Amino acid sequence: MLVAKSVVVLAEIITRLGDEDKYLSLVARRQVAVIGYGNQGRSQALNMRDSGLRVVVGNPHDPYEKLALEDGFKVVGVSEASGLADIVFILIPDEVQPEVFERSIKPHLRENSVVVMASGYNYFYGYVKPPDYADVLLLAPRMIGWAVRELYTRGEGFPALVAVGHDHSGVAKGVMLGLAAAMGVFKRGGCAVVSSFREETLLDLLSEQTWAGALLFMFRAYYEVATELGASPEAAILELYASGELAEIAESMKNLGLFEQLRTHSRTSQYGQLTRGPGFVGEEVKDKIRGIALNILNGSFAREWALEQRTGMTVFNRLHEINREHPMELEEKKLYKILGRIG
Ligand code: NAI
């Protein structure tokens, strides 16, 4: 079991670069290749280009390539883009990165090339291994792809976890901050949290495997009990998430704070949440979270997931199938048709 540390590690949080132009000049003359033009690739490429960087897109022939061309980028294959670049952003799905990196990116890296990733996973577990003569950076927006662009165009920043994984050039941190600035991180309200590939991987996977997954199944349990007690499926689903109130609560958490947002609910609601909530989360649950964290850090979850991908995703597909068969899914489809959200 993981041993809890009593020392709180304080993060270095950068909200403004004293001399942003100095950092931008570290990257301005270098050729950037953005590999992948999907959720993150498109937004990051557009932001960096608008900040004055030279950006080429590396993408296979698919609809994303068409989009990049329509946006006015020079688009070439992944190998060619990597060969042209001093700085290579790997913005394709995590599952395909190891193979694409070995085959089409790594052979083109040179002394002081910079490899940039938006997720810690593949580098932390050693699935993507850049050579020692390249710098390795993490620039992981805590923001979904389209919003990275949307905020930039409104002159607003966003939080990003940033890290230097390997500093061969001796200027990796400066380059990292220059790229973060070009991406728009330091615009109004944004910040870079200096992190590590380990921390980013732990925090990301730990969220997914604890509260995010638990929330889905907690909603299922609520639905089952509420409908047992005579509530209509439609009313239950609206109450849980379909009304959009949940998104408003999440927005209030962001703006006011986790517990401060409670004050925007009725006092009956506040009393109910404060008295009943803690009963769901005791030491047993914390031990479970520690166990999951251990399996993330020691790589056993990553090995399990790699095996699942190699063996045809049978568990993954089966679990989706089981969940699709739940009565709540059918009721949700009916409701979403009535609401005009699906055809
Ligand atoms: P995505 O799924 O949107 O990537 C699609 C792009 O990858 C397309 O351009 C497609 O042509 C290309 N692609 C797919 N398979 C390929 C292959 N075999 N060879 C070459 N190109 C291929 O990816 P997304 O969601 O933007 O994720 C990219 C990275 O950003 C990942 O590391 C992810 O963890 C990270 N990230 C994603 C966030 C998000 O908002 N989705 C948030 C923060 C980080």
Contact of 65 with 41, CB cutoff 8 Å: no
Does 178 sit in the ligand 1 pocket, CB within 6 Å?
A: no
Q: What is the pTM of this model?
A: 0.93
Query: Percent of the chain, pLDDT > 70?
Result: 98
Q: Answer whether residue 3 shows pLDDT above 80.
A: no
> Does the beta carbon of 120 sit less than 6 angstroms from any atom of ligand 1?
no
Instruction: Measure 313 CA to ligand 1 centroid, in angstroms.
Output: 19
Which pLDDT value is given to residue 133? Answer: 98
pLDDT digits (tens, 9 = 90+) for 243-296: 999 999 999 999 999 999 999 999 999 999 999 999 999 999 999 999 999 999
Cα 315 to averaged position of ligand 1 atoms, centre (Å): 23
Nearest-angstrom CA–CA distance, 125 and 98: 11
The answer to whether 35 touches 58, Cβ cutoff 8 Å, is: yes
Average pLDDT over residues 103-123: 98
Contact 221, 214 (CB under 8 A): no
Probe residue for ligand 1, chosen from 89, 92, 96 as the CB with the greatest number of ligand atoms within 8 Å? 92
Protein residue whose Cα sits closest to atom 37 of ligand 1: 40
Q: For all residues of the chain together, what is the average pLDDT? A: 96
Across the beta sheet with 87-90, what order do the strands follow? 12-14, 191-194, 159-166, 135-141, 114-117, 87-90, 31-35, 54-58, 75-76
Spacing, Cα 287 to ligand 1 middle (Å): 33
* Residue 18 confidence (pLDDT): 87
Q: Give the integer Cα–Cα distance in Å for 8 and 78.
A: 42
Please write the tens of the pLDDT for every residue from 143-152: 999 999 999 9
The predicted pLDDT at position 8 comes to: 78
Cα 102 to Cα 135: distance, rounded to the nearest angstrom:
16
Task: Please report the atom of ligand 1 found closest to the CA of residue 68.
Answer: 9
Output the pLDDT for position 7: 72
